[in-house]
Structure 1
């Protein structure tokens, strides 16, 4: 019984704490949270709120961000950093509100038979309807849809990746559990749950088979998965992080041995599991000393970076400065058919660099390497959507498996995190496959 009361108080306190500690990030002119009362098929009886930033591309990506038990969509909007990141990077955020009573507040249904199969009903179908609505109403890109959430929302994140692998490209689960961890409604907290009781242990293949049975016959690509858990979490036990790792590495056909380990930020111990092409399909963060308190500052940004959404939204071109009379127009330098934009976000002794590579030529690029010079004092500690060698000086970023081709007029987004000693300038001297690129 003590577990039940602690979980209720912990989730409620987390919502308040997050609201008090959220950094001021959104500009005063930003769009506001809007409720949508009729969005389509809604067997879960859910509420939908959506945040559409003022500055966004014509077909913006969609992020579904989900609260913990006892919370709400508007509460997660106020108590997390995703809307501020949407302003910065130009994606839509859907904030569903769960309406299924679980004994200590409303939680997302990850236990019922209906919720455990694609199109079966309950909350997953309602959320899929919200995504479709965002496509119809706001032009949201149905090929770039992502899920994230905390506690019950983290559980639903992994759940959605299993039942809708054709809709969600990736997910970031904070303090979640593997798909099909709960046997039924009676097994969900605050009952005597085997899942969150700390004794759940299945083989990787058993976990993987559960995902494969959620959508029988599906043979398409599987979503990429990012997992976060605090080592001192006793409400949703830390041991479930490993069970989730085993599930999603098995689904991706990967070894249980990570291809790399690092600490991108103090206390964040990360394991990464990449395929034969170097594409990271699963990554797991063990947050040292953290309890049931995630995501904390900076973690939403890491999730958005994992999704590949850290390129700032396009802005209208500035008015050109008139050329004075009798002044010859300079001849532009001869360059390769590529253009690079780079957005730097720096703090204390660290920074992130979000790079977009655009193919401005008429020929398709199949396989690429982007070379650039890193400013003195900067050292790359981790990256996404490419591999980076070496970590300083003259660096070469090579494509991942999923972004090797760049069609004419198309672009790819990559990026890295680095430490610095005071020089936070952007890299210079970009060249794609040996040909110099213009820098926007």
Structure 2
């Protein structure tokens, strides 16, 4: 846990007031009929005697993704389940959540011993990997869609798991952590005071070399994408650690140290994105102004932003691939103006209403369709255009590739024919701002959530 709660009430009130205008889907599913947290025994190799708790939503997806969610010091799996929004989001999007507990109960994770900092070296990471494998084998979890998140000591372990098992995890989100290897003491569950105080600083290359040379030596495959969060007033794990984490993962993932873009998606949230040459965000950081050691704050969109970055909301809600298409940057929904069914109308963003002219279906043919007044129309790249500025319109469905769309794990919606991103013109946020196709650039006006 390692949380300082004195700022929670103030921040919660501010963020809840802002929640209605945030672009990521902030709604959490009702919990009245939610599934229950189940303890699992005998799940495989477990050298430190960890406890495994599993949350499988009632409307779990076929071939569901797996999220490993790690508590902080003084916490537990059940505590993290009840004190964060990840289970409610699992209800909504149909993924499975593993909530482990350390042994002895309430202890920190081992992120300091040589065993923990090496793939299959022993200690806590081996038991955590057994939980992932068990979930894949006994609950149909998708081995190609495994993710990890955690707070405080759990954020440190998030970085360790991403470093030790880069072939297992596709992405991770670390709330208030430190870089991989920063907490090294050579002892199990050791406390590294200089690291906690933000006094350990290295070059990006040095941090990156620790991941490459110590965690899983010889590994040359793809690396998981990383999202990092920290409060500027954190007195437990100093805010300086966010900068060190950023240096480490940008180096490991081969992207520039200078952000590709910066913005403030919510008041007092300073976000930076570090993109690959193709425009895909590899590292994303959030500096939360004035926040102490208390992230993610329940009832705010923090957990929703994390699962969006990891792609766990991709594919829509568990009620089917139908729902609103939320423009993250604008905080509005993709909208057919005035519910017009005449082919050729350019689409826009507008305040979300839940009406039929904002209720999209992404079907097996990769079409995005609206059904209004008994007529179904398709989102269409006008004139089969493949150039920047091509209008996104509604047109009679015809099965052509300019009416096929990929909903990508990085939050973009791309045309199958053009490869261009669905883009809110000029990063506009006003009702009625038109939507077009444009080269993917990682901007928030090209980020969407579905469901």
Q: Could you say which residue in structure 1 is the equivalent of 2:119?
A: 118
Distance change in 2, residues 1:76/1:346 (3 Å): farther
Q: Could you say which residue in structure 1 is the equivalent of 2:311?
A: 308
Q: Does the CA-based 8 Å contact 2:114-2:186 persist in structure 1?
A: no
Q: Could you say which residue in structure 1 is the equivalent of 2:406?
A: none
Q: Could you say which residue in structure 2 is the equivalent of 1:144?
A: 145
- Of the three residues 93, 101, 117, the one matched with 2:97 is 93
SS at match of 2:312: coil
Q: Does the CA-based 8 Å contact 1:46-1:96 persist in structure 2?
A: yes
Q: Could you say which residue in structure 2 is the equivalent of 1:435?
A: none
Q: Could you say which residue in structure 2 is the equivalent of 1:196?
A: 196
Q: Could you say which residue in structure 2 is the equivalent of 1:324?
A: none
Q: Distance in 1 between matches of 2:246 and 2:169?
A: 18
Distance change in 2, residues 1:100/1:182 (3 Å): farther
Q: Does the CA-based 8 Å contact 1:352-1:416 persist in structure 2?
A: no
Q: Could you say which residue in structure 1 is the equivalent of 2:86?
A: 82
Q: Does the CA-based 8 Å contact 2:246-2:285 persist in structure 1?
A: yes
Q: Could you say which residue in structure 1 is the equivalent of 2:159?
A: 158
Q: Does the CA-based 8 Å contact 2:316-2:323 persist in structure 1?
A: no
- Of the three residues 354, 360, 363, the one matched with 2:365 is 360
Q: Distance in 1 between matches of 2:326 and 2:34?
A: 20
Q: Could you say which residue in structure 2 is the equivalent of 1:178?
A: 179
Measured against aligned partners, the alpha-carbon deviations of 1:344-367 in whole angstroms (never above 9, x if no partner) come to: 5799x9457798855628xxxxxx
1:219 aligns with 2:220: yes
Residue correspondence of structure 1 range 202-241 to structure 2 within 5 A: 202-213=202-213, 214-241=215-242
Distance change in 2, residues 1:360/1:24 (3 Å): closer
Deviates more, 1:243-252 or 1:21-30: 21-30
Report the alpha carbon displacement of residue 24 of structure 1 after superposing the two structures with TM: 7.6
SS at match of 2:196: coil
Q: Distance in 1 between matches of 2:274 and 2:250?
A: 7
Q: Distance in 1 between matches of 2:322 and 2:437?
A: 16
1:393 aligns with 2:437: no
Corresponding residue pairs, total:
355
Q: Could you say which residue in structure 1 is the equivalent of 2:58?
A: 54
Deviates more, 1:23-32 or 1:77-86: 23-32
CA RMSD in angstroms, aligned pairs only: 3.4
Measured against aligned partners, the alpha-carbon deviations of 1:374-432 in whole angstroms (never above 9, x if no partner) come to: 9xxxxxxxx8235553233023266699xxxxxxxxxxxx9527xxxxxxxx9xxxxxx
Q: Does the CA-based 8 Å contact 2:114-2:187 persist in structure 1?
A: no
Distance change in 2, residues 1:385/1:128 (3 Å): farther
Q: Could you say which residue in structure 1 is the equivalent of 2:324?
A: 343
Q: Does the CA-based 8 Å contact 2:3-2:293 persist in structure 1?
A: no
Q: Could you say which residue in structure 1 is the equivalent of 2:411?
A: 384
Q: Does the CA-based 8 Å contact 1:155-1:178 persist in structure 2?
A: yes
Q: Could you say which residue in structure 1 is the equivalent of 2:351?
A: none
Report the alpha carbon displacement of residue 295 of structure 1 after superposing the two structures with TM: 0.3
Q: Does the CA-based 8 Å contact 2:65-2:142 persist in structure 1?
A: yes
Q: Does the CA-based 8 Å contact 1:11-1:69 persist in structure 2?
A: no
Q: Could you say which residue in structure 1 is the equivalent of 2:370?
A: none
5+ residue gaps in structure 1?
1-6, 317-339, 362-367, 375-382, 402-413, 418-425, 427-439
SS at match of 1:114: coil
SS at match of 1:220: coil
Q: Distance in 2 between matches of 1:203 and 1:226?
A: 20
Measured against aligned partners, the alpha-carbon deviations of 1:206-237 in whole angstroms (never above 9, x if no partner) come to: 10001102111111100000000001111100
SS at match of 1:270: strand
Q: Distance in 1 between matches of 2:120 and 2:203?
A: 27
Q: Does the CA-based 8 Å contact 2:7-2:291 persist in structure 1?
A: no
Report the alpha carbon displacement of residue 315 of structure 1 after superposing the two structures with TM: 3.9
Measured against aligned partners, the alpha-carbon deviations of 1:102-123 in whole angstroms (never above 9, x if no partner) come to: xxx4011100111111111111
SS at match of 1:59: coil
Q: Does the CA-based 8 Å contact 1:11-1:68 persist in structure 2?
A: no
Q: Does the CA-based 8 Å contact 1:182-1:188 persist in structure 2?
A: no
SS at match of 1:246: helix
SS at match of 1:156: helix
- Of the three residues 59, 65, 77, the one matched with 2:69 is 65
Distance change in 2, residues 1:260/1:400 (3 Å): closer
Measured against aligned partners, the alpha-carbon deviations of 1:310-353 in whole angstroms (never above 9, x if no partner) come to: 1334447xxxxxxxxxxxxxxxxxxxxxxx84435799x94577
1:262 aligns with 2:253: no
Q: Does the CA-based 8 Å contact 1:275-1:281 persist in structure 2?
A: yes
Distance change in 2, residues 1:186/1:215 (3 Å): closer
Higher strand share: 1
